[in-house]
């Protein structure tokens, strides 16, 4: 069997497993409306998408993933509950010299079900674990909602909380914001000078001396931004104990039951974290009921912070433990907020994941690619 034929056969095998689990096979267009969808993917995918322009349809991109178009399709009138599966090529540019393909196959499974979200999380993870059970992979889980809940508990302004939520998926930027918001790092000199000038003259006074308007931003928009900077400078720093607890959460790595116990202890200091920790406990029970050995299932609170920005809850991945340079063989997670965005206010709890069949095939043949 040729390489491409074997790859297609492996993709078909995985798809058949998902169909047997109750999923309906669906297709997604190769060309997607970039203006509508690019912002939903996050910074990494936006920078790696193949974008073109069509005279009639406007800006388009080659499909970088299936989840967003499948959600869009479902929110236009899909059944409730629903399970979908798919296979096909996705396209993303890669770093020069990385050796990674810019076109590769994905096989995926998505669940839209409001009855019991934690059970749906367990269903998807257990299905993927069975599909990949013959390979020597390491599974990792996480939960973006725990990080979000920790941010919500901080004693700081809503503007600062919003900035931290926006940069959850950019760990270095997130760390820099925490250092600035706690007072560990001063504002950059240029910003400090601007804030001092604003404090003396006010936003409108500073704008009056700024000369003619140039660029795309309106005067009112610039003035509002200046006033926001001034308000931020007047915001008291985040208390050091809260920042330390947040750091403890972000660095938490343990088997799932131990991680749950540590997070329960943290709830004493951050009671607002309790609902997210309760969901983790319910998910752990659902995973156990689905046959997953949760006692030996790793949980990393920061896992998923460098993947798709539409994930907002449970996340998981399967990786080759001896090859950290390789992409994840499979990954997925919960994306409830994405359904609200694409459903124009309507929402349904949703979770899913994808497998890269070329990695499965090559690992099954006797080693890491």
Q: Please provide the DSSP assignment of 176-206 as one string.
A: HHHHHHTTSSPPPHHHHHHHHHHHHHHHHHH
- Taking only the tens of pLDDT, the chain with its 369 residues reads 557 888 999 999 999 999 999 999 999 999 988 877 777 776 777 778 888 888 888 888 899 899 999 999 999 887 789 999 999 999 888 877 666 788 889 999 999 999 999 999 999 999 999 999 999 999 999 999 999 999 999 999 999 999 999 899 888 999 999 999 998 877 677 666 666 666 665 555 555 555 555 655 666 666 666 666 667 777 899 999 999 999 999 999 999 999 999 999 999 888 999 999 999 999 999 999 999 999 999 999 999 887 778 899 999 999 999 888 888 999 999 999 999 999 988 899 999 999 999 999 989 887 554
Q: In what order do the strands lie in the sheet with 31-33?
A: 31-33, 58-62, 51-54
> Of 101, 107, 100, 105, which Cα lies nearest the Cα of 90?
105
Q: Where are the domains of the chain?
A: 1-137+325-369, 138-157+238-319, 158-237
* 251: nearest Cα among 125, 150, 155, 160: 150
How confident is the model at residue 130, as a pLDDT? 96
Q: Which residue has the tokens 């050091």?
A: 240
1-137+325-369 is a CATH 3.30.930.10 domain: yes
CB neighbour class for 338 (10 Å; exposed up to 12, middle 13-18, buried from 19): buried
**Is residue 25 classed as helix, strand or coil in its secondary structure?**
strand
Q: How many CA atoms lie within 13 A of 52 on its CB side?
A: 10
Q: What global pTM score does this model have?
A: 0.87
CA 11/CA 20 separation, integer angstroms? 14
Give the pLDDT confidence score for residue 157 in this predicted structure. 93
What pLDDT shows up at residue 198?
Answer: 63
């Amino acid at each position: 069997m040729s390489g491409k034929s074997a790859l297609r056969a492996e993709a078909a095998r995985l798809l058949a497993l998902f169909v047997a689990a109750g999923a309906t096979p669906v297709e997604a267009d190769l060309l997607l409306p970039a203006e509508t969808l690019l912002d939903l993917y996050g910074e990494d995918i936006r920078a790696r998408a193949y974008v073109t322009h069509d005279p009639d349809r406007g800006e388009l991109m080659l499909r970088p993933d299936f989840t967003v178009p499948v959600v869009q399709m479902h929110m236009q009138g899909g059944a409730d509950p629903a399970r979908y599966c798919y296979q096909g090529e996705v396209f993303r540019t890669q770093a020069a010299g990385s050796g990674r393909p810019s076109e590769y196959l994905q096989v995926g499974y998505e669940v839209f079900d409001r009855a019991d979200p934690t059970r749906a999380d367990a269903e998807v993870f257990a299905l993927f674990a069975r599909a990949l059970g013959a390979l020597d992979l390491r599974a990792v889980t996480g939960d973006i909602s725990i990080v979000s809940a920790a941010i919500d508990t901080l004693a700081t302004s809503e503007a600062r909380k919003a900035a931290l939520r926006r940069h959850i998926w950019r760990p270095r930027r997130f760390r820099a914001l925490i250092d600035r918001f706690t007072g560990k790092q001063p504002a950059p000199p240029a910003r400090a000078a601007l804030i001092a000038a604003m404090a003396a003259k006010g936003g409108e006074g500073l704008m009056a001396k700024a000369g003619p308007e140039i660029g795309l931003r309106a005067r009112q928009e610039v003035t509002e931004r200046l006033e926001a900077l001034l308000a931020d400078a007047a915001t008291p720093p985040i208390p050091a104990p809260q920042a330390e607890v947040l750091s403890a959460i972000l660095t938490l790595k343990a088997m799932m039951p131990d991680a749950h116990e540590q997070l329960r202890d943290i709830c004493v200091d951050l009671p607002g974290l309790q609902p997210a920790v309760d969901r983790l406990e319910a998910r752990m029970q659902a995973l156990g009921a689905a046959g997953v050995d949760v006692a030996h299932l790793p949980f990393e609170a920061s896992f998923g912070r460098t993947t798709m920005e539409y994930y907002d809850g449970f996340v998981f991945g399967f990786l080759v433990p001896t090859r950290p340079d390789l992409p994840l063989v499979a990954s997925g997670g919960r994306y409830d907020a994405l359904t609200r965005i694409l459903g124009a206010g309507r929402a349904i709890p949703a979770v899913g994941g994808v497998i890269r069949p070329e990695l499965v095939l090559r690992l099954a043949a006797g080693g890491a690619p």
